[in-house]
Structure formats: C-alpha cells, structure tokens
Chains A and B, each alone.
Chain A
C-alpha cells in the first residue's frame, strides 16, 4: 500500500462546478498536510496547508480527518485556470522529517 494515495482522475468538470478530491495516508504519525498544484510541465507550487480545524482560501477548502486518515480538497465555482494536477503532501515527524507526495489528481475544467 502506498503511503499517500490519490485518485489519479482525470476529473472532467464544466466551469462553475464544484469538485472534491480525497487523499488517504497510511502513517498515523503524519504531522503536517498540504495540497500542491502542478501545471503541465511546470514545477509544483503550494496551494494550501491543511489544518486540523480545516481551512478555506477563497474558492478552495481543505479538510483533515485524522481518525480516518484522509484529507480533502474542495474547489467551488471551478475556473478554466484550475485545470492542473493536485498533489497531496504529507510530512512525517520532526526528528525523522520526511515529505511524501501523492501521485496527484488531474483536473480538467472545460468551458
């Protein structure tokens, strides 16, 4: 079982739609959680951190469920520019610091 698992998609949605991605992680010692965005043939960039209380940034909402070991990303009112791959990222520990990226979920938003 992979340490961080994501549905690879692709998710094909129309503009204005709401879309949600989930990501599961296997190590209960995971401490920090993030969503990165990666455009085609570009480098990953931080989209948002995921806090235990959940957090929202404009049209994007991230949630963490430690009991079930998953995080989610919700995108409301999808824009064409949201088309990208969304990478789930988990960090383990502090002394044995380790960052693990999921394989990513591809999103296509169409007009």
Chain B
C-alpha cells in the first residue's frame, strides 16, 4: 500500500515568491494534517481537515498561508508571499479518522527561502 505522497521534496525560492506544496494521503484516510517542522523542533500543526472541511486552522497564518482539499482527497498548501522565516520542512500526515491513534506522515517538503 502506498504511503502519504508529497511533492516537491525540495524547493528553493527567493523571498516574496509564491510556493505550493501538494499532498496525497493514504487511500481511505479522511483526516489530513499539514505540519511545519523547524530544525530541532517537533512538528507544529498548521491545519487539519476532516474530508474537505478544515476543522482546525487556528495555527495557520492566514495572511500568507492558504490550504485546500477540494474533493476530500489530496490537498495543497500555499504560501504567498514567502518570507525568510518560512524556511522549514512541511509535513503532511493522514489518518483514517481524527480519533485514530496513529498519524502516517509523508516524507515532507524541505523549503528554503533565500
């Protein structure tokens, strides 16, 4: 069974440019998470989806970050415009439902903003 797929794996952009990350969760998983992980820190939740509904986006910086999961399957996270401080690894995870114990993570997208 395929795991969580993310692309691109690496992205280097200049500040003020837009960037988008894509995630395809494990088939049948209704819950999808986007996390941000800085070096030496644990993942921090940006947004959680239940199917196509964003049920927790309280930590998403909405002035520059946006996300969508239109058909309740794959999802896109966008940053516009990117800032130097956005350099981090962006992880996508999924689970069958939010109350399920285990979250399955994708390999992440490593973003460098110059």
Cα A8 to Cα B40 with chains together (Å): 8
Whether B42 and A101, one on each chain, are in contact in the complex, defined by CB atoms closer than 8 angstroms, is: yes
A94 CB contacts on chain B under 8 angstroms: 99
Whether A103 and B40, one on each chain, are in contact in the complex, defined by CB atoms closer than 8 angstroms, is: yes
Whether A44 and B43, one on each chain, are in contact in the complex, defined by CB atoms closer than 8 angstroms, is: yes
Which of B33, B40, B44, B101 sits near A34, CB closer than 8 Å?
B101
B106 CB contacts on chain A under 8 angstroms: 43
Whether A101 and B43, one on each chain, are in contact in the complex, defined by CB atoms closer than 8 angstroms, is: yes
Which of B40, B91, B101 sits near A43, CB closer than 8 Å?
B91
Whether A32 and B40, one on each chain, are in contact in the complex, defined by CB atoms closer than 8 angstroms, is: no
B45's nearest neighbour on chain A, judged by CB, is: A99
Interface secondary structure of B, over-half rule: loop
21 contacts between A and B (CB under 8 A): A4-B42, A8-B40, A32-B101, A34-B101, A43-B107, A44-B43, A45-B105, A46-B103, A87-B42, A87-B43, A94-B99, A97-B98, A97-B99, A98-B45, A99-B45, A99-B103, A100-B45, A101-B42, A101-B44, A103-B42, A104-B40
Residues on A facing B (Cβ under 8 Å)? 4, 8, 32, 34, 42-46, 49, 87, 94, 97-104
Given contacts A99-B45, A104-B41, 18 further A-B contacts (CB under 8 A): A8-B40, A32-B101, A42-B107, A43-B106, A43-B107, A44-B91, A44-B105, A45-B105, A46-B101, A87-B42, A87-B43, A97-B56, A98-B45, A99-B103, A100-B45, A102-B42, A103-B40, A104-B42
Residues on B facing A (Cβ under 8 Å)? 33, 40-45, 48, 56, 91, 98-99, 101-103, 105-108
